Chain A
């Protein structure tokens, strides 16, 4: 029974997470401001990380978690670089 609940929950969360990704992608596409797009991408990264965690729970292997860890640890670098670019006009001064 509990296995059934977990499976259903995972499926639903997968779909919701991918929908969230789609929403974030549409924000990246539509903008309107550059800042909106950057935030959209950060959201995309976070959702992808969560999606991988859900994959990991579903399959029971830890390898997914490591990719998720990498996204969690390093995914923000692109966002920071963009923020810096928008704020200062160049990434490294």
Chain B
């Protein structure tokens, strides 16, 4: 790979790599974080510098990685002049912001998160800028929305930060989705997602019949991202973010992504009247409304946010005009705005930091307290107002000059000079207000802190930016001339017009407009001064028009009230009606095709039926019915009866030559019984109620339920029966039977299917099992039992009472007083049952058994010890670490799957061979055995974890109630 390719790739990779590293640094490592982030920004700046020469020569460095070549999608990075200027902007301002943030963040803030997100954002932003593929742009685009969300909500303990972050994400990510659709349209129209191809096919794009929908969708993305009217409301809310974030994302970088894309697609999509009619009216509206609202903000950052909205409106308007000269002005203004606005945000952050408030009404006379900050902020604010000899003046004058020209003949076009001058007046007025009310006037007396200039390092970024403003303002051609030129050429190509970056153009209309705006703005401020110092929040007239309020209401209706009423009208919180509905629908769904197609059930003759089997079934059915009947009134009886039904199922499986299933059924039955009994302890006492209620309605309902249950059960049974007695031809089962030994190396087809043929399913299932077990454990940690089941059970109290009366032996020895014989037997059974588990596990591949059954068996061995000795007794003697078993199980199963990759096979490919083992002889060893070991460990861990977590509740509760030990946080 050539140096170019490596460096270009590093441009995008470096920030993300830095982001990962930053996340793992210690919480209070402010210096290390700043060095890391600053180093990354500096490296990117250096890469940009390296590429300057070739790009100035007109080359476009480009890298292409195959991504989805089948769909014509490749990962393309291309760095043309325009992208280059943005890389420089993003990395240079990023560097300054990082330096600033080092001193801004307090030692209590967890900085790894901040710098990690900031670097991640930088990577995403650079990704947008250097992407050479439309879909790729959208990807990075959404990534910036995500990082913006995370950064705004950095102080997540703050309600307004969370709200602001949510609104931002909703608006910008929704816009991003529109953008994705628009980009797909555009890609289809141009015939390729490659940006170079798209940019070259401008004529065919604008002529296409789908141009308007494409334009509207892309506009939705651009306008939301760049906070354009009517989506502007998110930006002021995003000001809850830490100030470095506001300075970086919400003035210099992220909000510029919208206008960046507008300029990027300018060659392909501008040049149609629709383009003008979408962006010029909205840009003009944003320009005016933003400037108007900014004047009336009482929050310093709010003022800057609305001013940013207004300036973005200006850029959108310029790009919307569709003339090359306007595009030059737009690109120039993007750069200028980033410099003065970022420095203003940083100054606002310093004022907030030092004075303790951002309320303009409370601030005042700060010039004496913090002269350096004041001077810097004043220069930056003057640049924002468009005062001559500062960079803001140049681009603003270009803007004024451009509005005077005529573009698309219409009243709007004619009105543009007036709109521009009016917005300029407001801009001057709010800049003036910022300077005057914060730094001059009567000195503030009731500030939370005593303000003074911050450390030099914090001022340095601002000073650098302000110096840039001045230098560019005085000698534009010598400073930014070259950079602007390559950026403009990259966008406009041969259409690049002649433009002059001189300060003095003579007495042009634009100059008069500038002067008019300055004079008008000053007068306006003088007139409004009294009103602004009052207690009025927000602007007159437009105060009622709150996009954010409308948005919140819409969201509330859609996601809260609407959803709630839908749930209320269509659903029920009670289980019974839900089940009735579900069952009835299922029955109908099953009956309908049978009614249409008919069913052929082989009804067995009486002599064909095995009497024994019939009797076992009757026993099972009776038990099941009894369990259902007793469930409400006699829980223990219901549990016992369920055990009976399960046992008859087990016998049925064995009888139908499915010993695997029989074994599994039996073990599951046993574990379930123990589980239910453990749970029964915490259920409220039985409700004394007659089983035969007098109410006719209730009885009728019960008969209805019985009928539904009967139809459902009998229907399912006969359906299964019909399926099972059908003559079998070639099915997947035949296939498995044939290949189990030849390909899976096992004679137990069920096991081979589980660990080999369907190994991936099993992996997923055991992962789910592990998750469920850990969730149960986590939920039980906070378990608070009902009040009437907290007490020690009656039987226990009785026994303890008896013990206390008859001898004075220690109270806790369960086995010393009762269950002496069974307790001993159960203890002795531990090795026996473990042995059986090992046996079942080892031979599982060829004969009934396997990891699942073995795991259950081993779990039962543990449970037996718990039953015999009590939790304390067992845990004093055995180290039971079910969570680790779960972890080991998942790792073993997953690792076996990954292991296949070392042999160049796909995931989870198994192999088997015979191995000579001393003493045992020649044994088949399949790699699936390792997988099965994972299943074994996981099932064991999950079962033990769930049961023991439940069992520990009684220790916890008794501890909590006796208060002998500390509150039961540490239990289990």
Q: Provide 5 A-B residue pairs closer than 8 Å at the C-beta atoms, listed in order of the A residue.
A: A25-B644, A40-B640, A44-B619, A64-B659, A92-B871
One of B163-171, B553-561, B794-802 at the interface: B794-802
Docked Cα-Cα span, A28 to B669, in Å, equals: 17
Instruction: Determine the distance from Cα of A52 to Cα of B657 in the docked complex, in whole angstroms.
Output: 11
Within 8 A of A (CB), among B860-882: 860, 863-864, 866-867, 870-871
* Bound CA span A73–B792, Å: 32
Q: Determine the distance from Cα of A83 to Cα of B796 in the docked complex, in whole angstroms.
A: 13
A48 CB–B CB distance under 8 Å: yes
In the bound complex, do residue A66 and residue B870 qualify as a contact, i.e. CB atoms below 8 Å apart? no
> In the complex where A25-B644, A90-B793 touch, is A70 in contact with B615 (Cβ < 8 A)?
no
Interface residues of B in 652-706 (CB under 8 A from A): 654-655, 657, 659, 662-663, 666-667, 669-670, 673-674, 677-678, 680-681
| A37-B654 contact, Cβ under 8 Å, with A28-B644, A73-B832 | no
Residue on A with the closest CB to B798? A89
Q: How far is the CA of A18 from the CA of B667 in the complex (A)?
A: 22
Q: A63-B659, A67-B666 are in contact. Are A92 and B867 (CB under 8 A)?
A: yes
| A71 interfacial by beta-carbon distance below 8 Å | yes
A87 at interface, CB cutoff 8 A:
yes
User: Contact between B640 and A73 (Cβ–Cβ < 8 Å)?
Assistant: no
Q: Which residues of A contact B651 (CB under 8 A)?
A: 48, 51-52
Query: B792-825 toward A: CB 8 Å interface, digit per residue (1/0)?
Result: 1111100100000000000000100011001000
Given contacts A63-B848, A84-B867, contact A78 B659 (CB under 8 A): no
A67-B666, A73-B833, A74-B857 given; name 15 further pairs at CB < 8 Å: A18-B612, A19-B615, A38-B640, A41-B643, A51-B612, A52-B651, A67-B654, A77-B674, A82-B636, A83-B822, A85-B677, A89-B793, A90-B681, A92-B867, A92-B871
Contact at A91–B867, with CB atoms within 8 Å? Answer: yes
Q: Is B933 an interface residue (CB 8 A)?
A: no
- A6 proximal to B (CB < 8 A): no
Mark out the residues of chain B between 195 and 226 whose CB falls within 8 Å of any chain A CB in the assembled complex.
none
List the A side residues contacting B792 at CB < 8 Å. 89
Complex alpha-carbon distance, A64 and B867, angstroms: 29
Contact present for B795 and A91 (CB under 8 Å): no
Shortest CB distance B630–A (Å):
9
Residue in contact with B622 in the complex, picked from A17, A29, A45, A90, CB distance below 8 Å: A29
- Chain A residues within CB distance 8 Å of chain B: 14-15, 17-19, 21-22, 25, 28-29, 31, 34, 37-38, 40-41, 44-45, 48, 51-52, 55, 63-64, 66-67, 69-71, 73-75, 77-78, 80-93
Q: How far is the CA of A74 from the CA of B793 in the complex (A)?
A: 27
Flag whether B637 is at the interface (Cβ < 8 A): yes
Q: Which residues of A contact B257 (CB under 8 A)?
A: none
Is B611 an interface residue when CB atoms closer than 8 A count as contact?
Answer: yes
Distance between B950 CB and nearest chain A CB, rounded to angstroms: 8
Query: Given the known A-B contacts A52-B651, A88-B793, A91-B674, are A66 and B663 also in contact in the complex, defined by CB atoms under 8 Å?
Result: yes
Q: Are B618 and A91 in contact (CB under 8 A)?
A: no
Q: Which residue of A lies closest to B647 (CB)?
A: A48
B641 located at the interface, meaning its Cβ lies under 8 Å from any Cβ of chain A in the complex: yes
Residues of B within 8 A of A19 (CB): 615
Docked-complex contact B654 and A52, CB < 8 angstroms: yes
Instruction: Answer yes or no: B95 CB below 8 A from chain A CBs.
Output: no
Docked Cα-Cα span, A69 to B670, in Å, equals 15
At the interface, yes or no: B356 with Cβ under 8 Å from chain A?
A: no
Chain B residues with CB under 8 Å of A17's CB are 612
Q: When A55-B655, A64-B659 are in contact, do A91 and B951 touch as well, CB less than 8 Å?
A: yes
B616 within 8 A of A: yes
B613 closest partner in A (C-beta): A18
Q: Please judge, given known A-B contacts A48-B651, A74-B833, A80-B826, whether A89 and B663 are in contact too, CB under 8 Å.
A: no
Roughly how many angstroms separate A41 CA and B645 CA in the complex, as a whole number?
A: 10
Within 8 A of A (CB), among B932-958: 947-948, 951, 954-955
If A44-B647, A78-B673, A91-B951 touch, whether A71 touches B666 (CB-CB below 8 Å) is yes
Q: How far is the CB of A3 from chain B (nearest CB, A)?
A: 19
Asked if B836 lies at the interface with its beta carbon under 8 angstroms from chain A, I say yes
Max chain A C-beta neighbours (<10 A), residue from B637, B654, B680, B860: B654
- Report the Cα distance A75→B836, complex, angstroms: 14
Cβ of B924 within 8 Å of any chain A Cβ, yes or no, is no
**How distant is A7 from chain B, measured CB to nearest CB, in Å?**
13
Does B110 have its Cβ within 8 Å of any Cβ on chain A? no
Contacts of B857 in A (CB 8 A): 70, 74
A15, B611: Cβ atoms under 8 Å? yes
Given A45-B647, A85-B677 in contact, is the A78-B615 Cβ separation under 8 Å?
no
A21-B616, A80-B867, A88-B796 known; A67+B860 contact, CB < 8 A: no
Which residue from chain B places its CB closest to the CB of A52 in the assembled complex?
B654
Residues of B within 8 A of A40 (CB): 640
Partner of A67, one of B662, B669, B948: B662
The listed residue (B619, B674, B826) touching A22 by CB distance below 8 A is B619
Cβ contact within 8 Å between A66 and B848: yes
Q: Which residues of B sit under 8 angstroms from A18, Cβ to Cβ?
A: 611-612, 615-616, 619
B650 at the interface (CB under 8 A from A): yes
Listed residue (B640, B651, B867) with the most chain A CB atoms within 10 angstroms of its CB? B640
State the 4 A-B residue pairs at the shortest beta-carbon distance, nearest first: A89-B793, A92-B951, A18-B615, A14-B612
Task: Say if the beta carbon of B623 comes within 8 Å of chain A.
Answer: yes
* Cβ-based interface call for B626 (8 A): yes
Structural contact, A88 and B795, CB atoms closer than 8 A = yes
Contact A34:B637 (CB < 8 A) given known A28-B623, A77-B863:
yes
A93 CB → nearest B CB, Å: 4
Contact indicator B659/A89 (Cβ below 8 Å): no
- Complex contact A29–B833 (CB within 8 A): no
Return chain B residues, CB-CB under 8 Å to A14.
611-612
- Chain B residue nearest in CB terms to A21: B619
Report yes or no: A41 in contact with B666, Cβ–Cβ below 8 A.
no
Name the A residues within 8 Å of B662 (CB-CB). 67
A8 CA to B700 CA, complexed, in Å? 49
- Enumerate chain A residues within 8 angstroms of B826, measured Cβ to Cβ: 80
Q: Give chain A nearest CB distance to B368 CB in angstroms.
A: 75
Contact at B659–A28, with CB atoms within 8 Å? Answer: no
A89→B612 CA distance, assembly (Å): 37
B613 to chain A, nearest CB (A): 8
By the criterion CB–CB under 8 Å, are A74 and B615 in contact? no
When distances are taken between beta carbons in the complex, the residues of chain A under 8 Å from B951 are: 91-92
Q: How far is the CA of A25 from the CA of B637 in the complex (A)?
A: 11
> Is A92 touching B623 in the complex (CB atoms < 8 A)?
no
Shortest Cβ distance from A58 into B: residue: B612
Chain A residues near B848 (CB-CB < 8 A): 63, 66
Q: Which of B637, B644, B650 has the most CB of A within 10 A?
A: B644
Contacts of B847 in A (CB 8 A): 63
CB-CB under 8 A from A85, the residues of chain B are 636, 677, 680-681
Interface residues of B in 85-117 (CB under 8 A from A): none
User: Are B669 and A78 neighbours in the complex by a CB distance under 8 Å?
Assistant: yes
Assembled-state Cα–Cα distance A93/B799 (Å): 14
Query: Across the two chains, which residue of chain B brings its CB closest to A87?
Result: B795
Contact across chains for B954 and A90 when beta carbons are under 8 A apart: yes
CA distance A86 to B822 in the complex (A): 15
CB distance from B295 to the nearest CB of A (A): 72
Q: CB within 8 A of B615: which of A22, A34, A90?
A: A22
Taking a contact as CB atoms closer than 8 A, the residue among B637, B670, B795, B955 that contacts A89 in the complex is: B795
- Least CB distance, B205 to chain A, in whole angstroms: 73
Separation of A71 and B826 alpha carbons in the complex (Å):
15
Q: Roughly how many angstroms separate A77 CA and B673 CA in the complex, as a whole number? A: 9
Asked if residues B867 and A28 are in contact (CB atoms below 8 Å), the reply is: no
Closest CB of chain A to B564's CB: distance in Å? Answer: 41
In the complex, the answer to whether B793 meets A78 with C-beta atoms within 8 Å is no
Instruction: Report A-chain residues with C-beta under 8 Å of the C-beta of B866.
Output: 92
The listed residue (B618, B637, B666, B799) touching A75 by CB distance below 8 A is: B666
Closest to B826 in A: A80
The smallest beta-carbon distance between A74 and chain B, in angstroms, is 6
- Complex: how many Å from CA A34 to CA B795? 14
Picked from B615, B680, B864, the residue with its CB within 8 Å of the CB of A15 is B615
A70 to B622, CA, bound (A): 24
